[in-house]
Amino acid sequence: MKNPLKTCCRAFAAFAISFASFCAAAEKPADLQRFDELDNLSFVEMVNSVDLGKNSELIRKFQDKEGKNRLLNGRNIPKSDWKVEFFRNKEVLLITIPASKLFAPNATALRPGASEYLNPIRRYLKDPDMYRVLLVMHTDNTGASAYRDKLTIDRAGAVFNWFEDHGEDTRYLFDYAMSDDMPLKPNNSVENRADNRRLEIYLVPGKKMLEQAKKGRIVF
């Protein structure tokens, strides 16, 4: 049975994001506006929003190089608690950051040291629609359902706002609040609950990368 409070909370969050996007679009020239249809996609739809088709192998090779050379071994990469994986048959890069590195317990304001973890992601917003960057916030099952919903909504929004406040182009940056719906592990121990409280950042190939792949070379 669906939790009506959770459904209402998420519906309100979706409305707020859509309304904010509408207001921002009204103030910007057409070439700086974000497409409304992208704002309406769910997390799963966004991860699969660009069909790579026969160009997928070249993009996989590029993502593999990007992940290993920059996100794992590059300069200014956090030395601890920075996990990089591949997703969707190695077409999507996934970075996982423990929530404790970004937020104090129960807080929704970023820690002063959060920049160490967020700065490396700014690279992927520099070239619009080269990547679609998804910020997916999770928590454990502690507290009431409404509290968990609001916590992840506010934390996801805080991370989004950090990029915006640092002057990044956020047209292809999307935040999602998953509450406790996608745990990595059972919430039956202190350690497992800590692992479930996390920010996942998905680097999804955008249309610009696909266009370059069709020409046989990806330059980024």
Report the Cα–Cα distance between both ends of the chain, in Å, rounded.
46
Mean pLDDT to the nearest integer, 166-194: 96
* Least confidently predicted of 32-36, 67-71, 148-152, 160-164: 32-36
Residues 98, 78, 148: CA angle, nearest 5 degrees: 15
Can you tell me the distance from the alpha carbon of 87 to that of 209, in angstroms, rounded to the nearest whole number?
A: 17
Q: Look at residue 37 and tell me whether its pLDDT is greater than 80.
A: no
The rounded mean pLDDT for the chain is 86
Q: Which residue has the tokens 């160490």?
A: 116
Task: Show me where the domains of the chain are located.
Answer: 4-214
Q: H or E element: which one contains 19?
A: helix 4-27
Q: What is the CATH number that goes with domain 4-214?
A: 3.30.1330.60
Residue 31 has pLDDT above 70, yes or no: no
What pLDDT digit, counting tens, does each position of 90-147 carry?
999 999 999 999 999 999 999 999 999 999 999 999 999 999 999 999 999 999 999 9
Of 131, 116, 115, the closest CA to residue 66 belongs to 131
- Closest C-alpha to 87, from 204, 218, 220: 204
For residue 2, is pLDDT > 70?
A: no
- What's the confidence (pLDDT) of residue 163? 98
How large is the angle between the packed helices 145-165 and 4-27, nearest 10 degrees?
A: 20
Per-residue confidence band for 36, with pLDDT thresholds at 50, 70 and 90:
low
d(C-alpha 46, C-alpha 163), whole Å: 19
The two three-digit tokens of residue 158, written as one number? 């805080």
Name the band, by pLDDT with cuts 50, 70 and 90, for residue 35.
low
Q: Is the pLDDT of residue 84 over 80?
A: yes
φ, ψ for residue 96, nearest 5 deg: -115, 130
pLDDT exceeds 90 at position 197: yes
